[in-house]
Structure 1
Amino acid sequence: MLPEGIDTVETTVRAVLRDTLGLSEDRAAAFETETPLFGALPELDSMAVAGVLTELEDRLGIIIEDDEVDGEMLETFGALTRYAADKALK
Structure 2
Amino acid sequence: MQPEGVAQIEDTVRATLRDVLGLTAERVAAFDATTPLFGALPELDSMAVAGLLTELEDRLGILIEDDDVDADMLETFGALTRFASDKALQ
Q: Does 1:47 align with 2:47?
A: yes
Shift of 1:52: 0.3
Segments of structure 2 that go 5 or more residues without pairing to the other structure are: none
Segments of structure 1 that go 5 or more residues without pairing to the other structure are: none
TM-score, structure 2 as length reference: 0.98
TM-score, structure 1 as length reference: 0.98
Counterpart residue type for residue 77 of structure 1: F
CA displacement, residues 36-66 of structure 1 (integer Å, 9 cap, x when unaligned): 0000000000000000000000000000000
Q: Percent identity?
A: 74
Question: Partner of 1:9 in structure 2?
Answer: 9
Q: CA RMSD in A?
A: 0.5
Runs of 4+ in 1 over 4 A off after TM superposition: none
Alignment of 1:10-89 (within 5 A): 10-89=10-89
Would you say how many aligned residue pairs link Structure 1 and Structure 2?
90
Counterpart residue type for residue 42 of structure 1: P
